[in-house]
Amino acid sequence: MRYGRAPEVLRDIDLTLKPGSFHFLTGPSGAGKSSLLKLIYLAHGPSRGLIRLFGQDISTVARRDVPDLRRRIGVVFQEFRLLDHLSALDNVALPLRIAGRRAQEYRDDVAELLAWVGLGERLEALPSTLSGGEKQRLAIARAVVNRPDVLLADEPTGNVDREMGLRILRLFQELNRLGTTVLIATHDRELVQRAGQPVLRLDGGRLSPPLRPGPPVGQASGPRAEAEAAPELALDPPPPVPPPGPGEAAA
Amino acid sequence: MTGLPAQAPARRWRPGPLLPVGEGRDRALSFVIAVLCALACLTAILALAADRAASGWRTQISASATVLVRPGRGQTSSEAAAAAAEALAGVPGVTEARALDRADALRLLTPWLGGGVLPDDAPIPMLVAVDLDPRRPATSAALRAALANAGVQAVLDDHSRWLGDVERAALIARSAALGAGALVALAAGAAVAFATRAGLTSRRDVIEVLHLSGARDGFISGLFERRFAWLAARSGAYGALAAILLAGALKAFGGQDGFTPLLPLQWSDLLAAAPCPLAAAGVAVVSARRAALRVLRAPSQA
């Protein structure tokens, strides 16, 4: 994958996410984590190669069918991408409105979800009045509100405190337990250690095989600490490539 | 999930608009559409009045004819005119035929020859004025046959030449009104299309989030269609109201003829402005949809 005529930011990626799997995606800044997520949530197409999503080769998916695929994917954007003119409640309800749900049907559920992420008193607040952490929680609530088949999160705990980070992790785990395929791009080493889920590492645009995190090590975090801690991750043999099915993506 | 107390009663709650509102561009567009609608309504109202004037002229012209009498051998002009009037009066479809006396004929000639310049014994053509039944007027052929049967040499002017001119003028007036209406609709449509494209460009962030959240092109286009339909309907109402007030003032202060005999306005003509809000909304929907889908389906769009 490349942006315009710039050098490739991802190459030779061979990744399969099994339905119901939970992976972390790590790597230094600029390694291509966000770009890989963009490929999966169809914000960008590959310059070469093949992507299969929910069993379909995306290059053959008709334009009119793309929204159906996107509705099955929840995305927590690194820059949040909240709509500034909408209240917190309206922002979270956006996927439900687009899916055609009636306002009176979803309002209480959305309010409940907002309360769960600690924004129960800010239902009518505009994003511009929220702190970075509140915006992040809002973005997470929007990504999970319609129980997507696949959840992609780009640095979902970058602006929240440790307690809220763990709470968000539990939310992701609960969704995963209910069948959602989860892929989280993060620098948060503690999050990775606590989850104990396989870790995919991107470096220089190339993807390493999945590793399983070892026992917790200190509180160090950030790219350098992560790079130093990498040898502690146990190798998890790559699973055999299954036939195409729901929740698969390969780039 | 457990239920939580809502901050506002759910039945009153309405989700916010997905497109930002209250941007200055909308006010400018409202003004432009209102002015265009006012012009279109005035055109329609004045076209109705012009059509009525043409219709009146057509009725007057087609309900009369003029006969120029040539006296026969041993016959005076007055005798010939009287004979012609008598012959024509019996034709079905003629309500009255009267020979004009010399004074009437001189008065008709005054615009061309001036007053008081002809000697008393100067020969002047004798005319017979024929009034026709407006519901079932006698045909020119029937009038000519009656004159021939009476042995009167005469030239019949059934005013068809003037009738053609009036009908042509009425057709031109109607066509001009339709053309002006079409141009105004095109201008309004172009303004809405421009605003739609500007909205899509300036709020690309919103459009992208909607797309990535699974919104179809039609869903996004529908947001613009509804917004501009409402804006155009409201602006159309303002424009129609302005046109009604202006035309009403012309009618009220324009005298007994309804402004002028050339444009005999009637109060019912003001109803021509009534469909304007609906028509403006229709034009806005079509324009916004075409513009939005064209932009959204461009290859660069996600």
- Look at B16 and A86 and tell me if their CB atoms are within 8 Å: yes
Residue span(s) of chain B under CATH 3.30.70.100 come to 63-163
What is d(CA B155, CA B160) in angstroms, rounded to the nearest whole number?
14
pLDDT top residue among A220 and A205: A205
In chain A, whose CA is at the least distance from the CA of B213?
A95
Is residue A239 very low, low, confident or very high in pLDDT (cuts 50, 70, 90)?
A: very low
| Structural tokens at position B187 | 């201008």
Residue B114 has which token pair? 């001036």
Q: What are phi and psi of A53, to 5 degrees?
A: -130, 125
**What distances in angstroms separate CA A193 from CA A24, A26, A219, A221, B89, one per listed residue?**
10, 12, 10, 11, 116
Half-sphere exposure of B249 (CA within 13 A, CB side): 6
CATH topology of domain B63-163: Alpha-Beta Plaits (3.30.70)
pLDDT at B245: 94
Looking at the complex, does the CB of residue A70 fall below 8 Å from at least one CB of chain B?
Answer: yes
Q: How far is A164 from chain B (nearest CA, A)?
A: 19
Q: Which of B6, B16, B21 sits opposite A111 (nearest CB)?
A: B6
Sketch the domain layout of chain A as residue ranges: 1-72+148-251, 83-147
Which H helix or E strand runs over A153? strand A150-154
Contact (CB, 8 A) for B131 and B102: no
Q: Rounded distance, CA B98 to CA B31, Å?
A: 60
pLDDT at A99 over 80: yes
Using the beta-carbon criterion (under 8 Å), do A99 and B18 form an inter-chain contact?
A: no
What is the interface size between A and B, counted as CB pairs within 8 Å?
80
The beta-strand segments (E) located in chain B are 64-70, 94-99, 126-132, 153-157, 259-260, 263-264
The span from the CA of A165 to the CA of A195, in Å, is: 12
Is the confidence at residue A224, as pLDDT, over 50? no
- Over residues A104-162, the pLDDT tens digits come to 889 999 999 999 888 999 999 999 999 888 898 899 999 999 889 999 999 888 878 88
Minimum CA–CA partner of A114 in chain B: B4
Residue A5 scores a pLDDT above 80 = no
Bridge pairing between strands A22-26 and A206-207:
unpaired
**Contact at CB, B2 and A43, closer than 8 angstroms:** no
- Which of B7, B14, B213 has the CB atom closest to A123's CB atom? B7
Those residues with Cβ within 8 angstroms of residue B255's Cβ, 6 or more apart along the chain or in another chain: none
Can you count the helices (H) and strands (E) in chain B? 8, 6
Q: What is the pLDDT, as a whole number, of residue B3? A: 39
pLDDT of amino acid B35: 94
Residues on chain B bordering chain A, Cβ-to-Cβ distance under 8 angstroms: 1-4, 6-8, 10-11, 13-18, 20-21, 205-206, 208-216, 219, 297, 302
List pLDDT tens digits, range A155-197. Answer: 888 878 888 888 888 888 988 998 899 999 998 888 888 888 8
pLDDT band at A218 (very low <50, low <70, confident <90, very high): very low
Quote the pLDDT of residue B6.
Answer: 44
Residue B252: predicted pLDDT: 84
**Chain B residues lying within 8 Å of A120, measured CB to CB:** 4
Task: Round to whole Å and give the CA distance between A95 and A114.
Answer: 15
pLDDT tens, position by position, B18-41: 988 766 678 888 999 999 999 999
Q: Chain B interface, mutation test: which of A53, A73, A78, A112, most B Cβ atoms within 10 Å?
A: A112
Q: Answer yes or no: do A108 and B15 touch at CB < 8 A.
A: no
Chain B closest CA to A218's CA: distance in Å? 35
| Interface mutation vs chain B, best among A34, A38, A42, A97, most B CBs within 10 Å | A97
pLDDT at B256: 66
Residues A5 and A2: their CA atoms lie apart, in Å, by 7
Nearest chain B residue to A65 by CA: give it: B216
Sign of the C-alpha dihedral computed for residues A139, A143, A146 and A147 taken in this order? negative
Q: Give the best-scoring range by mean pLDDT among A24-38, B18-32, B112-126, B211-225.
A: B211-225
Which architecture characterizes domain A1-72+148-251 according to CATH? 3-Layer(aba) Sandwich (3.40)
Q: CA B124, B129, B133: angle at the middle one, nearest 5?
A: 170
- CB crowding B28-54: b at 16 or more within 10 Å, else e: ebbebbbbbbbbbbbbbbbbbbbbbbb
pLDDT greater than 80 at residue B84: yes
Nearest chain B CA: its distance from A135 CA (Å) = 15
Closest CA to B99 of B80, B118, B74, B113: B80
* Residues of A (114-153) whose Cβ lies below 8 Å from B: 115-116, 120, 123-124
Evaluate whether B157 touches B67 at the Cβ level (below 8 Å). yes
A55-84 mean pLDDT: 90
Using CB atoms, which residue from A63, A95, A112 is nearest to B214?
Answer: A95
Residue B300 pLDDT > 70: no
With CA atoms as reference, the chain B residue closest to A68 would be B214
Instruction: Please name the residues in contact with A162: beta carbons below 8 A apart, sequence gap of 6 or more.
Output: A190
ipTM here: 0.79
| pLDDT at residue number A199 | 92
pLDDT given for residue A111 in this prediction: 94
A19/A151 Cα distance (integer angstroms): 11
Side chain identity at residue B15, one-letter code:
P
pLDDT band, very low/low/confident/very high, at A10 (cuts 50, 70, 90): confident
